[in-house]
Structure 1
């Protein structure tokens, strides 16, 4: 069901006009805008990064390996899913992978910045897109799966976001999360990426369960590459010359392929049941308590 963000009335309708207070979100660049005050900027991320990200993601080892891990988790933990919302969909790279593997699934994507949505809509024309603030989700018991992939770390009010995602999931629906991990890995890269935090597993687990979820799987990833990541972060931390968040994504083809192969070895271990304690990122699969 949809939820009016003005009067909180829940309703079923093809459109967004509230039958009680008659509020209707604005339309910006062809998208329903539920938080238009943030549509062109306002913190959490630099919208100027989207264009470069869109050109780099498809080839970069990290984005490719993360997509493969997400697709495995979706198939494993919610094989009967018919609907999915990705919150903070960015340029649509994750949704494009899901659309290829699950062409019959009803896909939706939200992004707070319009610049990201334009890339996402071009990448996944079959999905429904909206401009939205993840702290105020206009749905109730609507989706089988909600994904937030490297989103929570950009938002101060992450606990409020998790509560909103819980509300928007159907009973026994599944939440898929990826976040950057280990505060001791903090470097200039996190500053330039507009991160608010890097998580500990304990912190993330508590926030997820406090929001009403039951954790079904939690593991680090980017674990075999952690030594290389630590060296890279140490180097960037002592540099005084400012650089953009996408700089570490531009690797030689050889190095990129080596890193992708190592992350695929890691994936095979995760699929076999191994849960890594250490790693640059963490995957959490959680189910809404009915």
Structure 2
């Protein structure tokens, strides 16, 4: 997609109401979401205690991550452009602080937030602009936790259907973070052990489009086995940096005042 069309599309909602409802049904149990949250928990342990300021979940969708953050004692603000997503989030976690807004124009004062989550958001919007907005609203020393789909050669119909602009490499994300003014702390590939299965699934979908549903709706046994594998991968990932993975997760910081890189 040309850059101009990307910028125009960024203001549009790329998730249909139907897709949001499907996500709400998947997030509680699907091994991919549960494994991704294990990474988020690890990063939260690294930043816990730094401050008690609010954490913004940008593009909160159905409120899955925001609800988990709130349940762990973090003061959370959940932001999404879609009212339907915010309604689902309110149902999932009553009394959650919800805001309708765009990742490209965050309705918060400069330096007013301690942390931010961008969970599979940057592939839907111009990443430079979104990261610049996050940098603006974070306090010096504030943190950013993010995830994005990775490896451009995994591009498939699923990416097109989900409204993705691109898939990222670790090198690309590091460069984007640094250009936005962040200090990358962790950049980890996720789903290394299941990468062959993902690759076969994407290739199969070219000839049998209905097979795409298998990734979203694995059988009970496959889902259990998938979670065992990703849980082990995340655990071992404390000491091993996996060379590849179909997703990329990371932690970065806004420099404290007076920092010189």
- Is TM > 0.5 for Structure 1 vs Structure 2? yes
Task: State the match for 1:87 in structure 2.
Answer: 58
CA-atom RMSD in angstroms: 1.8
Query: For each residue in 1:53-88, what CA deviation from the matched residue of structure 2 results, as whole angstroms up to 9, or x when unmatched?
Result: 111210111111111211121112344342210000
Is residue 81–residue 145 contact of structure 1 (8 Å, CA) maintained in 2?
Answer: no
Supply the distance in 2 between the matched residues of 1:137 and 1:172 (Cα, whole angstroms). Answer: 19
Could you tell me which residue of structure 2 aligns to residue 147 of structure 1? Answer: 117
Tell me, which stretches of 5 or more residues in structure 2 are unaligned?
1-8, 257-261
Counterpart Cα distance in 2 of 1:129 and 1:81 = 21
How many residue pairs end up in the alignment? 245
Distance in 1 of aligned mates of 2:194 and 2:137: 35
Change in Cα spacing, 1:167 to 1:125, as seen in structure 2 (3 Å) is same
Q: How far apart are 1:240 and its partner, in Å? A: 5.2
Describe the superposition over 1:204-239 as per-residue Cα deviations: whole angstroms up to 9, x where unpaired: 111111000001111101111111111111111333
Per the alignment, do residues 266 and 81 of structure 1 end up closer, same or farther by CA in structure 2, a change over 3 Å counting? farther
Whole-angstrom CA distance in 1 between matches of 2:23 and 2:50: 31
Asked if 1:251 corresponds to 2:218, the answer is yes
TM-score, length of structure 2 as denominator length? 0.89
Partners of 1:146 and 1:174 within 8 A in 2? yes
Q: Could you report, residue by residue, the CA deviation over 1:115-152 in whole angstroms, capped at 9, with x for unpaired residues? A: 11100111122321111111001221111110000010
Q: Do structure 1's residue 283 and structure 2's residue 254 form an aligned pair?
A: no
Equivalent residue for 1:111, pick from 60, 80, 94: 80
User: Which of 72, 88, 92 is equivalent to 2:42?
Assistant: 72
Distance in 2 (alpha carbons) for counterparts of 1:123 and 1:132: 19
1:205–1:134 distance in 2 versus 1, CA, 3 Å: same
The equivalent of 1:13 in structure 2 is none
- In the TM superposition, 1:252-267 aligns within 5 A as 252-267=219-234
Contact 1:153 1:198 in 2 (8 A): yes
SS across alignment from 1:219: strand
Contact 1:78/1:174 (CA < 8 Å) preserved in 2?
no
Question: Could you say which structure has the larger radius of gyration?
Answer: 1
Tell me, in whole angstroms, the C-alpha distance in 2 between the residues paired with 1:268 and 1:53: 25
Q: Say if 2:13 and 2:81, in contact at 8 Å, map to a contact too.
A: no
Q: How does 1:1-290 map to 2 (within 5 A)?
A: 42-82=12-52, 83-102=54-73, 105-139=74-108, 140-155=110-125, 157-239=126-208, 248-271=215-238, 273-290=239-256
